[in-house]
Amino acid sequence: MHIRMKRSAALHAVVVALLLGTLTSCAALNQLGIDASRYRPTVHFDGFKMRGIDWTKVDLDFKFRINNPNPLNVKMDGFTWALDLAGARALDGVNNQGIQLKANDASHFTLPVSLAFDRIFKLAGALKGKDKVGFKLAGDFGFNTPIGMLRVPYQEAGDLPVVHKPKIAMAGVRKGKVNLLGGSATMFIDLNISNPEGGSTLNFSAFDYAVQVAGKSAINGMVSNLANVAQGTTQKVSLPINLNLAALGMSVVSALTGGGQLPIALNAKMNVGTPYGPVPMKLAENKSFSIL
């Protein structure tokens, strides 16, 4: 036990001397029968975290854990990275800011990346019917040590999230009951909600809308659950609109009774449920319809 403790203390002293620059090469350790690789920092990929996602881009944090087995701090001076999507280069870069690694402990490093979906689709194809795209992340970490720059390579692979923006459009306007004496009428705005490219069913909720008829405000409303639209399908949804004919004027009455063109403006905001959580979406349409 006494001999082993002395050897451990001597080994500790040699490593400290190496880090302080007293010894200038791994050969010094090798001559003493010490495995220098035991004192090399190691890199572990801890996956990625999605910071945010919308219909234009996804923001990601790639996380690394760096273990420093040395009794003194070591500095990470450089970091290179290259991100491939479906085998095509998407982004790459060099980070020379560096971080100080804790002695005999793990330090953490984060690489923030923003990926635009139009670039993803250009590189990897349309990815129709898919919610993920394969990635490969590779590069190296550079550690500044007394024996020179030590480079530790890494290479990781997996899947990144992808969302495809659905389509919503007014498809027509239908007349309901018209009560001229009471000055009221009902009509229905038909919406086509399409999910042509997505890989999963999308849920449309918290549909907060405002309708103008012939340039005048007609109604504001909220639909808590508008539709669930499966992959590759289109669903028709009707919004019932109650009209105050006295407030809207004779042009609306004429269109409802005589079948003329009626300008309809629909503005809405909603949440679209995706595999990666709800993504906000807005709608703004202004069209003229023949009342059926």
Q: Tens of pLDDT along 264-283?
A: 999 999 999 999 999 999 99
pLDDT tens digit sequence for 103-145:
888 889 999 999 999 999 999 987 999 999 999 999 999 987 6
Contacts 24+ apart (CB under 8 A), 44-52: 45/137, 45/154, 45/156, 46/108, 47/158, 48/158, 48/160, 50/161, 50/276, 51/112
pLDDT at 173 over 50: yes
Question: 35 pLDDT band (50/70/90 cuts)?
Answer: low
| Confidence (pLDDT) at 98 | 78
- Of the chain, the percentage scoring pLDDT greater than 70 comes to 85
List beta partners, residue 107: 66
**DSSP codes of every residue in 70-114:** SSS-EEEEEEEEEEEETTEEEEEEEE---EEEPTTEEEEEEEEEE
pLDDT tens digit sequence for 65-108:
998 887 767 788 889 999 999 999 999 999 887 788 888 888 89
Q: Is the pTM of this model over 0.95?
A: no
CB count within 10 Å of CB 1 equals 5
Contact 287, 189 (CB under 8 A): no
| Confidence (pLDDT) at 41 | 84
pLDDT at 36 over 60: no
Calpha distance 153→250 (Å, rounded) = 75
Work out the average pLDDT over 146-164: 88
Considering only residues 65 and 30, tell me which one the structure prediction assigns the higher pLDDT: 65
Question: 146 pLDDT band (50/70/90 cuts)?
Answer: low
Label the pairing between strands 261-274 and 202-213: antiparallel
Closest to 85 measured CA to CA, from 143, 157, 142? 157
CA distances from 194 to 168, 210, 230, 266 (A): 6, 21, 9, 17
* Identity at 95, one-letter amino acid code: N
Q: Which domains can be identified in the chain, with CATH numbers?
A: 1-39 (no CATH), 40-161 (2.60.40.10), 167-290 (2.60.40.10)
